[in-house]
Amino acid sequence: MRVLVTGAGGFVGSHVVRVLARQGHAVFAVLRRRGLDEDAADGSGEVHAIRLDLKDAAGLASAVRDIRPDTAIHLAWYTEPDKYWGAPENLDCVAMSLNLARVLAGSGCKRLIAAGSCAEYEWRGEILSEESTPLRPRTFYGVCKNALREILDAYCQKAPMQLAWLRFFYLYGPGEARGRLVPSTILSVLSGKTVPCTSGEQARDYLHVEDAARAVAAVVESEERGCMNIGSGQPIKIRTIVEKIARILGCRDLVGFGAIPDTPYEPSSLAADVRRLRYRCRWKPSLTFDEGILQTVNWWKANS
């Protein structure tokens, strides 16, 4: 296939590009700043780097006309750690995404696969399901993602262009933003600094980014449409994650649980119902959490 990937220089996008290229697809990677890794095009596929700001409407229209993708994977969004939950930039991302969908449909693109978030759900109960969990986002980021999905769903039915909406849960792995839990913990321990933590009793669904990229590729090669969770299906306590990192690095004494108060009303456990992804797209994770966190720690040791 001819696959357009936005956000191709980002944490998830860079891994998605590599997986698709290895599977033999012609990948058109839209990049605003950062280049692709040297191994992005290894395998039987081909990767074409497209330098483009998606807010440049004329440039986007010209690029899509030239590429004429069969499928587009839209991953670009404002993701500054901590800030993105309530940032006004979310509105810019909604506008950018709507214009992208219109341009893609006009070029004859048959399928749009876009990144949603578990933040669209009502965070009540442990297992969040595409079919039964209410959509009641409590952050501006979640509201914008959910609103975009509703608009795209209605638009794509008329375009016509199939829509698959991927609700990502918590990801970790090589290349993640340094301010997020896993890399910040690794880097603090590597530098000999104490890691201040909450009680760590909250459990969240963490999936290695390489398995997430394989999940996206599995959706690309399926005919699935509609909403689909991207996660491991297994919640793991924050305390367990931090302790595993400290144990691997031999510095368990650098962890300070309880140094930061727990957030009031935060759910004790969140995990994805991934049955649809497993059974309809024939996907399952290739890495256990222990394998994934060890690989991630070793990557940061080599790249910090």
Q: What percent of the chain has a predicted confidence (pLDDT) above 90?
A: 85
Q: Where in the chain is the domain with CATH 3.40.50.720?
A: 2-170+209-233+272-281
Q: Are 170 and 231 in contact (CB under 8 A)?
A: yes
User: For residue 153, is pLDDT > 90?
Assistant: yes
User: For residue 102, is pLDDT > 80?
Assistant: yes
Residue type, 178: R
User: For residue 265, is pLDDT > 90?
Assistant: no
Q: Where in the chain is the domain with CATH 3.90.25.10?
A: 172-204+235-268+289-303
Average pLDDT, the chain: 93
User: For residue 212, is pLDDT > 70?
Assistant: yes
Kindly state which CATH superfamily the domain 172-204+235-268+289-303 is placed in.
Answer: UDP-galactose 4-epimerase, domain 1 (3.90.25.10)
The DSSP string of 6-67 is ETTTSHHHHHHHHHHHHTT-EEEEEESSPPPPGGGG-SS-EEEEEE--TT-HHHHHHHHHHH
Structure tokens at 18: 């590599």
Q: Are 219 and 181 in contact (CB under 8 A)?
A: no
Give the alpha-carbon dihedral of 163, 167, 173, 179, to 10 degrees.
120
User: For residue 124, is pLDDT > 90?
Assistant: no
Q: Give the pLDDT score at 34.
A: 57
Closest CA to 206 of 77, 79, 118, 145: 118
Class of domain 2-170+209-233+272-281: alpha beta
